[in-house]
């Protein structure tokens, strides 16, 4: 699952939303036959016209200065694997409705992430979503640079995704809310006035929402914590993930269910060290960690033994004291 928040795909977000709304109508404009156009949606409504979207967003800017952000674009892009999973589970028609329901849940998470008493769900926000079925090659894509495809050509594979425009002001047009405020509560006075927004927590919560809503078994490499750790983590943290990869590669039907339940604990708040991993597995009465590591993983086995000895020595030291 890829989720990001930007100003706009068409330039500045400091003026009218007209340019962005018009841009997100591009797939409707390509429909030359009598195919039903894809309408916008929001809380409890799936029949919003693009004209209504623009008018309501542009009128919800009370006391914002000319240089202030007026709206933000939330991009929700399920992976091909996630789309295939939903298609198999619900079928193509119901899949579209399920994705819209998921987007509403993501906007609930967006609202809660500000940690303001008056902003508790997507119903406290002014937002409008649009389901898109394709992505298009741009000048920055390697295939365009290499002359393999042209700018504007449709990209291959499952590209269904959701675009959501959310107003800077809440539904009452009184409270300013910005996902750019990432103080995370460090500045208490500032956070109380403008809210706070932990971008990584929002992304991880949205990932978990998908898994919980659709009973999706998320593999280790699909987790946000995996990409963040492999990019910015320590050598030891990366080693722990490598151990889990070794296990995941050797799963069979009898161990798969148990394993995926166990790795639900692996998140950005989880301390990635061998002792913690061993503790999680052992606390569930599982022998997966040791039984699935084969003899050729000598380095990992030695690390596990070392961690257990270190923990034992620490416990003995505490008892002596």
CATH classification at residue 133: 3.30.930
Whether residue 168 contacts residue 64, with contact meaning beta carbons closer than 8 Å, is answered with: yes
- Calculate the alpha carbon distances from 51 to 48, 54, 142, 165, 166 in Å: 8, 5, 36, 14, 15
Cβ atoms of 226 and 220 within 8 Å: the answer is yes
Domain termination site, one of 213, 229, 258: 213
∠ at Cα 181 (178, 183), nearest 5°? Answer: 155
Final residue belonging to a domain, choices 151, 186, 213? 213
pLDDT tens string for the chain (321 positions)?
999 999 887 778 999 999 999 999 998 888 766 668 899 999 989 999 999 999 999 999 999 999 999 999 999 999 999 999 999 999 988 999 999 999 999 999 999 999 998 999 999 999 999 999 998 888 888 998 999 999 888 889 889 999 999 999 999 999 999 998 875 555 556 555 655 789 999 999 999 999 999 999 999 999 999 999 999 999 888 888 888 888 888 777 777 888 888 888 889 988 887 777 777 777 766 666 556 554 335 555 565 565 656 655 666 555 555
Per the CB < 8 A criterion, the answer to whether 125 and 43 are in contact is no
Distance between CA atoms of residues 134 and 2, nearest Å:
15
Number of domains in the chain: 2
Distance between CA 34 and CA 52 in Å, rounded?
Answer: 22
User: Does 203 lie in the same domain as 149?
Assistant: yes
Which pLDDT belongs to residue 296? 36
Same domain membership, residue 168 and residue 69:
yes
**pLDDT for res 58:** 97
Query: What are the start-end ranges of the E strands in the chain?
Result: 2-6, 40-42, 45-48, 71-77, 125-132, 161-170
Same domain, 124 and 147: yes
Residues 116 and 231 in one domain: no
Secondary-structure breakdown of the chain: helix, strand, coil percentages, each rounded to the nearest 5? 50, 15, 40
Enumerate the β-bridge partners of residue 166: 72, 127
Element (H, E) at 193: helix 188-194
294 and 246, same structural domain? yes
Are 7 and 156 members of one domain? Answer: yes
Domain range spanning residue 94? 2-213
d(CA 43, CA 104): 7
Whole-angstrom Cα distance, residue 113 to residue 60? Answer: 21
Q: How far is CA 119 from the centre of its chain?
A: 20
Q: Looking at 183, 213, 243, which one is the last position of a domain? A: 213
Q: How many DSSP H helices and E strands does the chain contain?
A: 14, 6
Beta carbons within 10 angstroms of residue 114's beta carbon: 24
The label of the residue with tokens 């209504």 reads 52
Tokens representing 22?
A: 């018009």
pLDDT for position 294: 43
Within this chain, do residues 189 and 230 fall inside the same structural domain, yes or no?
no
- Same domain flag for 21 and 117: yes
Same domain, 247 and 300: yes
On whether both 75 and 56 belong to a single domain, the answer is yes
- Are 198 and 112 a contacting pair, CB within 8 Å? no
The CA distance from 305 to 48, in Å, is: 61
Do 105 and 182 lie in one domain? The reply is: yes
Report yes or no: 217 and 248 within 8 Å, Cβ to Cβ: no
246 and 137 in a single domain? The answer is no
Is residue 45 classed as helix, strand or coil in its secondary structure?
strand
Comparing CA positions, the residue from 130, 109, 111 lying closest to residue 206 is 109
* Confidence (pTM): 0.84
């Amino acid at each position: 699952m890829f989720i990001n928040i930007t100003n706009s795909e068409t330039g500045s977000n400091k003026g009218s939303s007209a340019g962005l709304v018009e841009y997100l109508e591009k797939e409707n404009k390509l429909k030359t036959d009598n195919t039903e156009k894809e309408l916008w949606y929001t809380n409890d409504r799936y029949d919003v016209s693009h004209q209504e979207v623009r008018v309501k967003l542009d009128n919800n800017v009370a006391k914002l200065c000319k240089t202030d952000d007026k709206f933000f674009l939330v991009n929700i892009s399920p992976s091909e694997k996630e789309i295939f999973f939903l298609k198999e589970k619900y079928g193509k028609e119901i899949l579209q409705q399920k994705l819209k329901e998921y987007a509403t849940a993501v906007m609930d998470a967006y609202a809660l992430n500000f940690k303001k008493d008056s902003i508790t769900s997507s119903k406290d926000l002014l937002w409008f979503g649009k389901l898109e079925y394709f992505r298009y090659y741009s000048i920055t894509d390697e295939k365009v640079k290499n002359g393999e495809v042209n700018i504007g050509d449709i990209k291959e594979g499952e590209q269904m995704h959701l675009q959501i425009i959310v107003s800077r002001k809440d539904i009452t047009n009184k409270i300013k809310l910005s996902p750019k405020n990432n103080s995370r509560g460090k500045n208490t006075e500032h956070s109380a006035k403008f809210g706070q927004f932990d971008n990584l927590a929002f992304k991880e919560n949205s990932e978990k929402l998908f898994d919980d809503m659709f009973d999706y078994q998320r593999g280790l490499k699909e987790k946000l914590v995996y990409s963040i750790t492999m990019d910015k983590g320590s050598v030891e943290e990366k080693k722990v993930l490598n151990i889990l990869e070794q296990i995941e590669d050797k799963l069979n039907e009898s161990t798969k269910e148990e394993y995926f339940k166990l790795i639900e604990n692996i998140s950005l708040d989880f301390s990635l060290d061998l002792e913690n991993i061993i503790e999680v597995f052992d606390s569930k009465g599982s022998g997966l960690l040791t039984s699935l590591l084969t003899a050729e993983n000598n380095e990992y086995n030695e690390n596990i033994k070392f961690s257990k000895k270190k923990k034992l020595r620490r416990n003995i030291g505490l008892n002596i004291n």
